[in-house]
Amino acid sequence: MSIDIVFVSVFDLAYTVATLALVSAGLALIFGLMRVINLAHGEFIVLGGYTTIVALRMGCNIWLAMLIVAPIVVGCFGFLVERLVIRHLYGRTVDTMLATWGLSLALSGALSMIFGTTTTGVPNPVGSLSIGQYQVGGYSLFIIAVSTLLLASLYFVLRSMRVGMIVRGAMQSAEIAAALGHSPQRIYMATFVAGSMVSGLAGGVLSPLVGLTPSAGGQFIAKAFITVIAGGASVVAGTVSASALLGTVAKVFELLSSPVVGEMALLICAVILLRVLPQGITSRWFKGAA
């Protein structure tokens, strides 16, 4: 095996892990901190993709559409969802699941009425890169950079900044946070909006690589939930560790056999992991991490 093939394989593996982490980060923020199971997470990502498409058709720069417009629009939508639905259901897990499941169906139906059911997408703004005699997608390197920067920023905010410590404290004890003068309801709202913005960013950034349809949320939600639950309670450490493990397993079996076998191996690995570590990876090796 030549050194070029090794670099290409490592690059593909890093891209698979980065994509998994990017898709899961918004759900990890909402579920890991708030314990709110948002079954509309996949549709939030799809909404970010369609927002990018609409912004491009209106003449917006593609980078601005993906990195700024999509997160803001989905964040505003998340604000409305939190104020109108989620805030009435805190502490009621089953009701929250039913409400967000209904929201996902309604959002998928609304997108079908507006955009139709045909597959659409965004032009890839980056050409290919050469690794020796092989060509790899330059946009994949951008995905790796965005995912790394996003997770590093989340870790810094939650671990080192005062606002992150207030959020983590409020999630552990809303009564003590309120006694210290902080409004738990506002903290919940801000956390849900932040998670929605991260989902919108994921949808915008991934839109040049995936064919978007109104029902595409299903392809994101399953992987995101498996990754978040396998990672455990810690938002960033859990997302990174679970993405690295599951992404590596999926990629190795994909190279050895086919993408379908890779997906099956990912699911089997997650089941075995949760059998051994019911509370996720971070319950044993990353206790106290953000």
Tens-place pLDDT, residues 83-100? 999 999 988 888 999 999
Residue 70: which of 61, 192, 140 has the closest Cα?
Answer: 61
With cut-offs at 50, 70 and 90, classify the pLDDT of residue 16: very high
Q: What is the pLDDT of residues 64-79, one digit of tens each?
A: 999 999 999 999 999 9
Q: What is the pLDDT of residues 263-288, one digit of tens each?
A: 899 889 988 988 888 888 887 766 66
Centre a 10 Å sphere on the Cβ of residue 146 and count the other Cβ atoms it contains: 19
At residue 287, the pLDDT reads 66
What pTM did the predictor assign? 0.92
Backbone angles phi, psi at 214, to 5 degrees: -60, -25
Q: Compare 232 and 157 and report the one with higher pLDDT.
A: 157
Residue 22: which of 163, 207, 183, 189 has the closest Cα?
Answer: 207
Q: What percent of the chain has pLDDT over 90?
A: 57
pLDDT value at 13 more than 70:
yes
Q: What is the pLDDT of residues 23-51, one digit of tens each?
A: 999 999 898 778 888 999 999 999 999 99
Distance between CA 171 and CA 250 in Å, rounded? Answer: 33
C-beta of residue 237 within 8 angstroms of C-beta of residue 289: yes
Q: What is the pLDDT of residues 215-230, one digit of tens each?
A: 999 889 988 989 999 9
pLDDT value at 1 more than 70:
no
Residue 166: which of 185, 187, 152, 193 has the closest Cα?
Answer: 187
At residue 289, the pLDDT reads 63
C-beta of residue 223 within 8 angstroms of C-beta of residue 239: no
Distance between CA 100 and CA 186 in Å, rounded? Answer: 20
